[in-house]
Amino acid sequence: MKTNHYRDKISQDCPKCENRVLAIRINGFYAGSRDRIFLWECPLCGDVWKKAKPRLKVEA
Ligand SMILES: [Zn+2]
């Protein structure tokens, strides 16, 4: 089992407040679906966004 706890928080540019933040990763599912979704939350302004273009190489 691979652990990647250190990747739970990755420095990203918040699309809302545009600060460089340690975004909090959110793993979830769409309601009524099994489709998984990955979201990021800004610890400063609380904005949530989808991971569109990861700046860092994230393991597949
Ligand atoms: Zn923000």
From the CA of 35, how far away is ligand 1's center (Å)? Answer: 26
Sign (positive/negative) of CA torsion 48, 25, 55, 43?
Answer: positive
Q: What is the 3-state secondary structure (H, E, C) of 14-45?
A: CCCCCCEEEEEEEEEECCCCCCEEEEEECCCC
From the CA of 37, how far away is ligand 1's center (Å)? Answer: 20
**To the nearest whole number, what is the mean pLDDT of the chain?**
80
What is residue 6's predicted lDDT score, i.e. its pLDDT?
53
Q: What is the pTM of this model?
A: 0.64
Name residues with Cβ closer than 5 Å to ligand 1, which is an ion: 14, 16-17, 42, 44-45, 47
Phi, psi of 7 (to 5 degrees): -95, 0
What is residue 59's predicted lDDT score, i.e. its pLDDT?
57
| pLDDT digit string, tens, across residues 36-49 | 988 999 999 999 99
User: CA neighbours within 13 Å on the CB side: how many for 55?
Assistant: 8
From the CA of 41, how far away is ligand 1's center (Å)? Answer: 8
